[in-house]
Amino acid sequence: MRKPKKAIITCAITGSLHTPGMSPYLPITPDQIADEAIKAADAGAAIIHLHARRYQNDEFYGYPDWRPETYMQFLPRIKRSCNAIINITTGGGAGMGTQERLAGPLAASPELVSFNCGSCNFGVFSIISKVEPIAKYDWEVKMLRSSKDHPYVNTWSMMEEVAEKLGRGCGTRFEFECFDLGHLYALRLIKDLGWLPDGPVFVQAVYGVPGGMGGDLQNVLFMHETAKRLFGDDLQMSNLGGGRYQMRIAAMGAIMGCHVRVGLEDSLALSKGELAKSNADQVHKVSRILKDLSIEIATPDEARELLQTKGANKVGF
């Protein structure tokens, strides 16, 4: 991998695992998601990673949503208001099947989508004791509890469908999310099978999710070295740390020439014991870290060139 001249900052705005009771600052409504995305882009994020949330049903307020009409409540506004690359999840949320997970991305045909490179036993049931006292809705604890019996499934057939429908069908590029070492080897096999187009391989290594890789700095180093062996000069690598690992993993990865990801999807905190009041707070913080390390920050158009995306004028919103 050629060391990137500039670091791409991705900001993941809301995700599907954090719940309303965990933070009053978690964006849920279309207006909140759009506002947070625009402010994160203004703060320096070149890529905005997006999930949708239910916002009209009081009983399931904040529950992960898959419907294209919900995405279309905020995608056009974000595009009009900033130049950031919009990256839509194909992972969806708890209980979603493949058709639901792909509904929003296929309708939007964005420049970039997430691509999960294998299954994982997300053990978020382990935080129930912390969430139960602060939960606002019954679904919050039920969703966390469901992870004890239902793994986060990404079969080979599902991955092939994502590659076919979004890659070949829409010209969309991928952010390959790897929750474990084996996911890098799965990605190498997928590429060897011809499912993916030629060009950059944008790996997003994920640390600190219960059931995935721990947030140990040794893991960051080993994943980086392995990815370089597997993908060579095609590699564009980024790292995200869940929870308390967010900033230390961003800093270590950046020192090694990697891109970074922050956002309230990955961590609700700004520092120990302090909730982030916005996604932009985390973007500002990681920007300061990068600048203190003498690492320049990529603009959206520089990120487009590095990742060879199709451009904002070719999306479906």
Q: What percent of the chain has pLDDT over 90?
A: 97
Domain annotation covers residue 214: yes
What is the domain range of residue 117?
Answer: 6-314
What's the mean per-residue pLDDT of the chain?
Answer: 96
Res. 98: pLDDT tops 80: yes
Domain annotation covers residue 73: yes
List pLDDT tens digits, range 99-130.
999 999 999 999 999 999 999 999 999 999 99
**Mean pLDDT confidence for 45-69:** 96
Domain annotation covers residue 1: no
**Mean pLDDT confidence for 35-59:** 96
List pLDDT tens digits, range 125-147.
999 999 999 999 999 999 999 99
Domain annotation covers residue 151: yes
DSSP 44-56: T-SEEEE-EE--S
Torsion sign across C-alpha atoms 120, 266, 16, 197: negative
Count up the domains in the chain and report the number.
1
Supply φ then ψ for residue 275, to 5 degrees.
-70, 140
**pTM to 2 decimal places:** 0.96
Alpha-helical regions (H) of 25-165: 30-43, 68-71, 75-81, 98-108, 128-131, 138-146, 156-162
Res. 3: pLDDT tops 70: no
* Residue 247, number of CB atoms within 10 A of its CB: 19
Angle at 278 between CA 23 and CA 223, to 5 degrees: 90
Q: Which class for 117: exposed (0-12), middle (13-18), buried (19 or more C-beta within 10 A)? A: buried
pLDDT band at 58 (very low <50, low <70, confident <90, very high): confident
Q: Are strands 235-241 and 201-207 parallel, antiparallel or unpaired?
A: parallel
Asked if residues 185 and 203 have their Cβ atoms less than 8 Å apart, the reply is no
Asked if residues 280 and 48 have their Cβ atoms less than 8 Å apart, the reply is no
Q: What percent of the chain has pLDDT over 70?
A: 99
**Mean pLDDT confidence for 265-276:** 97
**What CATH number is given to the structural domain containing 77?**
3.20.20.70
Q: What is the pLDDT of residue 158?
A: 96
DSSP state of 120: B
List pLDDT tens digits, range 175-216.
999 999 999 999 999 999 999 999 999 999 999 999 999 999
Q: What is the pLDDT of residue 101?
A: 97
* Residue 272, number of CB atoms within 10 A of its CB: 6
Q: Are strands 85-88 and 47-50 parallel, antiparallel or unpaired?
A: parallel
